[in-house]
Amino acid sequence: MAEDNSYESMLCVKPEVHVYRIPPRASNRGYRAADWKLDEPAWSGRLKITAKGKMAYIKLEDKNTGELFAQAPVEQYPGCVVEAVTDSSRYFVIRIEDGNGRHAFIGLGFADRGDSFDFNVALQDHFKWVKQEGELAKLEASQSAAPKLDLSFKEGQTIKISIGNIKKKDAGGAKPRPMAGGLLPPPPGAKAGGILPPPAGAQTVPLAQTNTAPLLDFGSPVPAPQPSSDVWGDFTSAGSNSSTDAVKSGWVQFS
């Protein structure tokens, strides 16, 4: 992403901060707010943190007029421009510059602990974003410098695809069609093509035998009906004569 140096964003605003004169550091252990005159601040006003490109600026302004009192350009955080004291979380030491190459260290204090927390987080978030932008720019530069991989097919080039684990269908392995009428297949114990035998001890009823002799005897004369003493004889004779007439009309009689 291209850096836009003309745009200035607002990161944090605190309506009341205090500035203190600090004594020179006596050792490398760090600054202590207890060594300052906390009940006699040298200046009180408003604090703003702005960002322009990769740089952050801590600005101390008058609460009423907005006149700039001091400014501290911050290139990285944590760093030498903003340093926390060792005995409190509400006080910091910042390095201010006048734009002519001169700088000085002053004490900065917040009346509320939440304001000092917001001040700290605003600087951390900005430089975290700066770090991510730098890593992204390096990645884009390395990708553009690397030769691009050409995966296109050359003229006359072919590929072969082998697909495994596919079962071939058997030619004569057609599934049997279900029987018509919704009949179920025979049980596993039945013999193919047969009917289950009756259980032991059961008697089978023989089928009535059909007398085929009258049908095969074409040359024998039909006997005349005999008179009977049965009261139903007339009806029987009539039924017999009608049956004989039907046979004569439907069949050719051989002599």
Q: Write out pLDDT tens, residues 171-223.
A: 555 565 655 555 666 666 655 555 555 555 555 555 445 555 554 455 555 55
**Residue 235, helix vs strand vs coil:** helix
| Domain residue ranges in the chain | 8-143
CA distance 81 to 75: 8
| pLDDT value, residue 26 | 73
| pLDDT value, residue 2 | 44
Predicted TM-score (pTM) of this structure = 0.54
In the predicted model, what is the mean pLDDT of the chain? 76
Whether the CB-CB separation of 69 and 43 falls below 8 Å is answered with yes
SS3 content of the chain, % helix, strand, coil (to 5): 25, 20, 55
| pLDDT value, residue 67 | 93
Question: What tokens were used for 85?
Answer: 């004291």
pLDDT higher for 232 or 61?
61
Residue whose pair of structure tokens reads 């995966």 in the numeric block: 151
* pLDDT tens, position by position, 2-35: 455 568 899 999 999 999 999 888 777 889 999 9
**Pairing between β-strand 91-97 and β-strand 55-61 as defined by DSSP bridges:** unpaired
CATH class belonging to 8-143: mainly beta
H or E element, residue 59 = strand 55-61
Whether the CB-CB separation of 60 and 46 falls below 8 Å is answered with yes
As separate numbers, helices (DSSP H) first and strands (DSSP E) second, the chain gives 3, 7
